[in-house]
Amino acid sequence: MTDFDHIEKVGVIGGGLMGSGITEVTARGGLSTIVVEVTEEAAQAARERVEGSLRKAEKRGKISAEDVDATLERIVFTTELERLADRDLVVEAASEREDVKLGLFERLGTILEQDDAVLTSNTSSIPIVKLGAVSGRADRVMGVHFFNPAPVMQLVELIPSLTTGEATKARMQHFVTEKLGKQPIEATDRAGFVVNSLLVPYLLSAIRMYEAGYASAEDIDKGMVLGCGHPMGPLALSDLIGLDTIRAIGVSMYDEFKEPLYSPPPLLDRMVDAGLLGKKSGHGFYAY
C-alpha cells in the first residue's frame, strides 16, 4: 500500500449538517468512519441525519438498499474524542468558533497515535496556520472545506498553511479525487478562501437590501433566480447555510481585511441573537 493510499480510517468531529454529510461521503467511499459528538443525544441525531440522507438517496435510485446497510456498518458514533487515536485522517467539522477549534486541535495533537496522520478542518474562515501551531504537528494540518450538502456538491477547497508539508498536500489531493470522487481547488490560507470570499459579500449585500426595505425576501430571491439564473436566492441560501455561520464568516473576514463589505449588518446580528438561524432552527428569512 502506497503512502497515498494509506487513508482507510477516518474520524469526523461534529455530526451537524456538514459533519453528517462528510461522514456519509467517507463511509460511501468505503472508509471506516468514527463520528464524535458532544452528547449522546447529539450523536443519535447525527446517526439519524446520516441514515435519513442515505434512505432518501435510496428512494431516488442513487444507491441500493444493500449499499445503505453496508455504509451504515462502516460508521461508529461516539462522544469520546480518544476513539480517534488510530485514525489516518481526522476532519474537524465542529461549530465555527475559533476557541472551540483551537481546543480540539490541541487535544488531537496528543491523541493521534500515527506520526503521519493528517488533521484537517472544515472551517470556512479560521486561519489554518493557528490550528496547526496548537496541534504540535503543523506539517500534517490543512483545511479541507466541503460544501453543503456534501454528498451532492462536487467541490472541495484544499487550504494548506505556511507550515503544511508537501506530502500532506499531495495526500489530500489524492484522497479527495481518488477516494471521494470530488473536485478540489487549492486556496491560500486567508479568511474566506475562494468561494466564501466571493459568496459572503453577496449574501450580506442581500441582507442589507432586505433590511433597508428595497424589496421582500421573496422578491429579492426571485430576482436572482429568474434574473440571473441562480438555482437559489441569496436569502434562502443564507437560511440553508445558517445565519450564525454567515455571521461568523463575515466577522472573521472583516477582522482580517477590514473591508466594510464583509461586516455583518445589524439585522443579521439581531436574528442570530434571537436564535433565528435559518433552516436548522426552523426560522430565518423564511419559516420551515
Instruction: Answer yes or no: do 180 and 202 share one domain.
Output: no
Output the pLDDT for position 103.
96
CA distance 257 to 262: 8
Please say if the pLDDT value at position 4 is more than 60. Answer: no
CATH classification at residue 173: 3.40.50.720
Instruction: Establish if 280 belongs to a structural domain.
Output: no
Catalytic pick among 20, 53, 121, 124: 124
Instruction: Establish if 161 belongs to a structural domain.
Output: yes
Instruction: Answer yes or no: do 28 and 170 share one domain.
Output: yes
Tens of pLDDT, residue by residue over 107-140, are 999 999 999 999 999 988 789 999 999 999 999 9
Catalytic pick among 121, 145, 238, 252: 145
Instruction: Establish if 52 belongs to a structural domain.
Output: yes
Instruction: Establish if 286 belongs to a structural domain.
Output: no
Instruction: Answer yes or no: do 110 and 22 share one domain.
Output: yes
Residue type at 243? L
Tens of pLDDT, residue by residue over 232-241, are 999 999 999 9
Please say if the pLDDT value at position 21 is more than 90. Answer: yes
Instruction: Establish if 173 belongs to a structural domain.
Output: yes
Domain-ending residue, one of 186, 208, 240: 186
Contacts of 274-283 with C-beta under 8 Å, sequence gap 24+, read: 276/243, 277/242, 277/243, 277/244, 278/238, 278/239, 278/240, 278/241, 278/242, 278/243, 279/239, 279/240, 279/242, 280/16, 280/17, 280/242
Instruction: Answer yes or no: do 201 and 181 share one domain.
Output: no
125 is catalytic: no
Instruction: Answer yes or no: do 48 and 160 share one domain.
Output: yes
CATH classification at residue 260: 1.10.1040.10
Contact predicate 252/191, CB 8 Å: yes
Instruction: Answer yes or no: do 200 and 181 share one domain.
Output: no
Domain-ending residue, one of 138, 162, 186: 186
Instruction: Answer yes or no: do 214 and 256 share one domain.
Output: yes
pLDDT exceeding 90 applies to what percent of the chain?
A: 91
Contact predicate 24/65, CB 8 Å: no
Catalytic pick among 37, 53, 157, 161: 157
Whole-model pTM over 0.85: yes
145 is catalytic: yes
Instruction: Answer yes or no: do 27 and 119 share one domain.
Output: yes
Contact predicate 12/26, CB 8 Å: yes
Domain-ending residue, one of 153, 186, 219: 186
Instruction: Answer yes or no: do 133 and 22 share one domain.
Output: yes
Range of the domain at 131: 9-186
Backbone CA torsion sign across 176, 138, 89, 150 = negative
Collapse the DSSP code of 76 into the 3-class scheme (helix H, G, I; strand E, B; otherwise coil) and give the result.
strand
Output the pLDDT for position 124.
81
Instruction: Answer yes or no: do 131 and 259 share one domain.
Output: no
H/E stretch holding 167 reads helix 166-174
Q: For residues 1 and 106, which has the higher predicted lDDT (pLDDT)? A: 106
Instruction: Answer yes or no: do 124 and 207 share one domain.
Output: no
H/E stretch holding 91 reads strand 89-92
Instruction: Establish if 233 belongs to a structural domain.
Output: yes
Please say if the pLDDT value at position 170 is more than 80. Answer: yes
Grid cell, residue 228, equals 440571473
Catalytic pick among 20, 125, 135, 196: 196
Q: Per-residue confidence at 2, pLDDT binned at 50, 70, 90?
A: very low
196 is catalytic: yes
Instruction: Establish if 3 belongs to a structural domain.
Output: no
Instruction: Establish if 88 belongs to a structural domain.
Output: yes
How many structural domains comprise the chain?
2
Instruction: Answer yes or no: do 162 and 224 share one domain.
Output: no
